[in-house]
Amino acid sequence: MYIQGRNIFDDQGRTLMLRGCNLGGSSKIPTQPPGTTRDPGSLADPAEASFIGRPFPLEEAEAHFDRLKKRGFTFLRFIITWEALEHAGPGIYDEAYMAYLRKILLVAEEKGISVFIDPHQDVWSRWTGGDGAPLWTLEKLGMDPEKLEITGAALTHQGYGELHGGAPFPRMIWPTNYNRYAAATLFTLFFAGNTYAPETRIEGESAQDWLQERYLACMRHCFRRLKNCKAIAGWGIMNEPNPGFIGLKDLGRIENPIVYMGPMLSPVDTMAAASGYPREAPVYRMGFLGPRPVCRETVNPRGVSLFREGYSCPWEKAGVWTSEGGEIRLLRGDHFAVYKGRPVHFTDDFLAPFMVRFIERIREADRGTIAFIEGIPMGIHPSWSKEKASGVVNAFHWYDGYTLFSRFFRPWFNVNTDTARILLGRERVAAYFRDALAKNVAWSREHMGDLPCLLGEFGLPFDMNGKKAYKTGDYRLHEEALSLYYDAIDANLLHSTIWTYTADNTNQDGDHWNGEDLSIYCGGERALGGWQRPYPMATAGKPISITWNRKKGLFRYRYEAEPRISAATEIFAPPECLGERPVIHAGTPAGGEAPELRADYVPAERRILVTNSGYAGEVILTARRA
């Protein structure tokens, strides 16, 4: 597998279309101690945690990989976390877990499945409401994990009920942790501690250098342990990197949160609350057309400090705010807004240099590995050029935001999350999805050196519409939603990995993480008709367009044939979509025949193979149910 221009090719020169899923949703949490994020005990004994068995037990690997391959999912985004590799302490790597990973990847190789490794995180760590980093990254800054929630520095599924009188965990509230103190502080120090908090040091090093070096050393160690696994096609840098406080223009007000939900503090108030000062906050709830404030709440009413003795807030030390005289005063509201005397640009000033450093470290062990990079989710990507690094894929994310947050779907209704405009009519909704993906592709063309694009995450909450499908078994609406997403992917000729395939998903606990349930598997495939569909796996030429009419059972593929490639064009053609004997035609745009082309259906491989004996020019391949 190699990159040339905006395309990815196999060793026979065919243009690849990579399609698969994220494996898997529960890889964010350990198998030991057992439990979901709703179990308070799941945060106990972090040094003794084990992720062996994620994404599934070794004895189940063949069955899961066979199932994915049967459905045409031969390229996977394989989830690991920093915590899974280095939970016991800095430099103490879980060699048993990496040995398990090697065995899983050998099975993938045997089944003809490729992966790229995704170092996953959400809102920094499990102790700050998500997953990713080990607990010791917080403890090295003097944070007491027992005080994260009561100071408002984080909000977790594990602790929400106890702190809120047994109230249920609000759905999709976890992203608010990006605006809470702990995650925002760690991201800011990780990417830009040298600039904004040079006084904060860990074991004699700047916080930025210490944290980045631990991360880089850990990922390079894992890469070296797994580098001979032929199933690995590449490595990601970090899932959904976040700027923390970087770029905020006024720390005295709330700016650009991912979602308004629960108590929302301004950045300076999060800093003060973490240091033991009670703060008043408006409380938001999600309504049908968006969030609205419903009341006010005191955050950290007991005035408890997050920090152990001898430690204090890095931002107070940096002169951002002061509590002198017992009164909270903001001293530099634009502290994170400027870099080198000009407005800061997080993705170019801090994220891209870190990505380059990561790629250099990984390629010390293997020069040929492909790097999968991503910018701020649903936001800005970094600028890129071959001078920074070649062999790179823009693996951006996109979600149908209205459906994801509201857990409600009708194909004729949606809301443009950029403009807040209501969309009525199936065609307008479908066009919105296509255009949203096209904008990301256009950015890559214009600002990233025309890199190949892969939609690394998109997906659908299966518990939408009041979990009705759980009771009826009717997933037709889910299939229609997923079909619309894939139509948009095909229209943009995108590689894609859907979120997610969770091997231990249940209707009760979903993906076992923060109440989410986006798995296409739950003891069996769900909404299969929405995500299993024909597509060109490898093309002896240049793809032009793909369409699939699910209701009519009609697949149409246009491409520019390259006669110098001897290998066949391979179309994934499952009989569930096209029948056991599809009617196939490979011809010219004018409707004429191309006798040099031969198209055959191979049922055992669930493929249409188009062989070329010298034809050069545009081909229109159609396949339909008989």
Cβ atoms of residues 270 and 180 within 8 Å: yes
CA separation for the pair 394, 355 (Å, rounded): 12
Cβ atoms of residues 415 and 421 within 8 Å: yes
List beta partners, residue 122: 131
CA separation for the pair 7, 365 (Å, rounded): 25
Q: Look at residues 118, 114, 109, 108 and name the one whose alpha carbon lies nearest to residue 76.
A: 114
Q: Which amino acid is at 541?
A: G
CA separation for the pair 439, 356 (Å, rounded): 24
Cβ atoms of residues 625 and 582 within 8 Å: yes
Task: Classify each residue of 165-202 as buried b or exposed e, where b means 16 or more C-beta atoms within 10 Å of its C-beta.
Answer: eeeebbbbbbbbbbbbbbbbbbbbbbbbbebbbeebeb
- In the three-class reduction of DSSP (H, G, I as helix; E, B as strand; rest coil), residue 436 is classed as helix
One-letter-per-residue 3-state SS of 260-321 = CCEECCCHHHHHHHHCCCCEEEEEEEEECCEEEEEEEEEECCCCCCCECCCCCCHHHHCCCE
Token pair of 248 as six digits: 């905020």
CA separation for the pair 396, 406 (Å, rounded): 22
Given its phi and psi angles, is residue 516 left (phi above 0), alpha (psi -120 to 50 degrees) or beta?
beta
Strand residues in 562-626 grouped as ranges (E): 569-572, 583-587, 597-602, 607-612, 617-624
Cβ atoms of residues 170 and 261 within 8 Å: yes
One-letter-per-residue 3-state SS of 322-372 = ECHHHCCEECCCCCCCEECCEECCHHHHHHHHHHHHHHHHHHCCCCCCEEE
Active site residues: 240, 457
